[in-house]
């Protein structure tokens, strides 16, 4: 296994299989890339995964855009499973999931993250520009029926849009047997002054503190040291809420063990770093390894303790 200069092990890949989507969520960071038609072939993805696996990577997450726009996604997962004995997961908006969940499971997918940023139809359409709430719920049911587990429902918390839906989402996900993943609207340093960020960012620590008061059990995800809280959701059901709080969070970055692969064939060290891209497309295995190694060695936590110190000042000013 390779370690970066901060002592963080590199055991996980986040692979962007495409950079296009059928939804138009205004806060989407597109994995730190621009919208593009560029994609890697299944063979190119497999070569990169095989080399990473030989050097300690045992977890892979596929993302987009919307990964299910790719008809060959099952092939990509099958090829990945040849090299990865550990966790293989997928993030999707679930629009196409109903008819493909079983095949994804058979191809080797372990679990799935489903983006659902509102439980109310009008707000769902406001966020995504698509009237697809029913399709997403059908996708969740199909994923459960296929045995993809655990199912995580990704919910980006947006000030003035969906904050009031948190309790309803906890009830919904507990009923569906899923984990609710509350995600802070994030951006890089320059983006913090943008109008959208100023308008919609919500400090989810206030929600976390409220949920903590009801906790029956607290766990921590090894990736980013994210807190996972178990609470009673009524009717004898248990709700599980995980908090993804990256903004100006040094602890989050200090526990990052992931390298990204863009749809253009680059190793990217961090969502917020556009100056650390290591191209491997079109190169031989030895060159791919050196690109991988150089990317790992270049990893630097984006948010540091000094950034946390200035966080409250920034919020008060804004």
Res 317 pLDDT > 70 = no
> Does the residue 98 lie in any domain?
yes
Mapping DSSP onto H, E and C, the string for 250-277 reads HHHHHCCCEEEECCCCEEECCCCCCCCE
Q: Is there a domain that residue 264 lies in? A: yes
Helix axes 121-128, 133-146, angle to 10 degrees: 90
pLDDT digits (tens, 9 = 90+) for 169-222: 999 999 999 999 999 999 999 999 999 999 999 999 999 999 999 999 999 988
Predicted TM-score (pTM) of this structure:
0.94
How crowded is the C-beta side of 238, counted as CA atoms within 13 Å?
A: 9
pLDDT band, very low/low/confident/very high, at 311 (cuts 50, 70, 90): low
- Residues 215-231: b if buried by 16+ CB within 10 A, e if exposed: eeeeeeeebbebbbbbb
Q: Note the pLDDT tens digit of each residue in 14-36.
A: 999 999 999 999 999 888 887 77
Please give the share of the chain, as a percent, with pLDDT higher than 70: 97
Total number of domains in the chain: 1
**Structural domain contains residue 242:** no
Does the residue 127 lie in any domain?
Answer: yes
Q: Could you tell me the CA-to-CA distances from 1 to 51, 98, 194, 254, 267 in Å, in that order?
A: 11, 37, 39, 17, 17
**Per-residue pLDDT at 318:** 45
pLDDT by residue (tens digit) across 208-248? 999 999 999 999 988 888 899 999 887 778 999 999 999 99
Average pLDDT of the chain, as a whole number: 94
What is the torsional sign of CA 304, 153, 235, 166? Answer: positive
Those residues with Cβ within 8 angstroms of residue 98's Cβ, 6 or more apart along the chain or in another chain:
135, 138, 139, 141, 142
Average of per-residue pLDDT across 155-181 = 97
Beta-carbon neighbour count of residue 198 at 10 Å? 12
Q: Is 160 inside any structural domain?
A: no
Give the range of the structural domain holding residue 139, as residue numbers without chain letter. 12-146+217-224+249-317
- Asked if 138 and 100 count as a contact pair (C-beta separation under 8 A), the reply is no
Mean per-residue pLDDT for 136-160? Answer: 98
pLDDT at 65 over 60: yes
Rounded average pLDDT over 99-104: 98
In the predicted structure, residue 301 carries a pLDDT above the cut 50: yes
- The CATH code of the domain that includes 258 is 3.20.20.70
- Name residues whose C-beta falls within 8 Å of residue 180's C-beta, 6 or more positions apart in sequence: 152, 153, 155, 169, 170, 173, 239, 240, 241, 242
Within a domain: 31? yes
pLDDT given at position 304 = 94
Specify if 182 maps to a domain: no
The 10s digit of each residue's pLDDT in 114-127 is 999 999 999 999 99
Given a cut of 70, is residue 312 above it in pLDDT?
no
pLDDT over 60 at 58, yes or no:
yes
pLDDT of residue 310: 62
Under DSSP, the state recorded for 34 is: -
pLDDT at 82 over 80: yes
Residue 286 lies in a domain: yes
């Amino acid at each position: 296994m390779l370690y970066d200069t901060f002592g963080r092990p590199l055991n996980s890949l986040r692979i962007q299989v495409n950079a296009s989507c059928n939804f138009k969520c205004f806060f989407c960071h597109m994995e730190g890339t621009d919208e593009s038609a560029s994609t890697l072939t299944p063979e190119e993805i497999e070569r990169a995964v095989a080399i990473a696996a030989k050097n300690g990577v045992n977890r892979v997450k596929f993302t987009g855009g919307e990964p299910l726009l790719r008809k060959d996604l099952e092939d990509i997962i099958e090829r990945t499973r040849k090299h990865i004995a550990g966790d293989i997961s997928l993030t999707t908006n679930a629009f196409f999931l109903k008819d493909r969940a079983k095949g994804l499971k058979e191809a080797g997918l372990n679990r799935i993250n489903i983006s659902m940023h509102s439980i109310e139809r009008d707000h769902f359409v406001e966020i995504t520009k698509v009237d697809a709430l029913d399709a997403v719920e059908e996708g969740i049911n199909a994923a459960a029926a296929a045995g993809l587990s655990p199912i995580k429902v990704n919910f980006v918390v947006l000030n003035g849009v969906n904050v009031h839906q948190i309790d309803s989402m906890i009830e919904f996900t507990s009923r569906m047997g899923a984990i609710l993943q509350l995600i802070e609207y994030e951006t890089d340093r320059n983006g913090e002054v943008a109008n959208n960020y100023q308008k919609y960012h919500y400090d989810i620590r206030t929600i976390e503190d409220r949920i903590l008061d009801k906790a029956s059990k607290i766990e921590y995800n090894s990736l980013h040291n994210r807190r996972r809280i178990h609470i009673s959701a009524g009717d004898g059901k248990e709700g599980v809420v995980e908090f993804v709080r990256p903004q100006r969070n040094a602890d989050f970055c200090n526990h990052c063990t992931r390298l990204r692969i863009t749809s253009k064939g680059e190793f990217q060290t961090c969502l917020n770093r556009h100056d650390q891209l290591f191209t491997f497309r079109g190169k031989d295995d030895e060159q791919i390894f050196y690109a991988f190694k150089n990317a790992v060695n270049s990893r630097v936590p984006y948010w540091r303790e000094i950034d946390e110190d200035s966080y409250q000042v920034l919020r008060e000013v804004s």
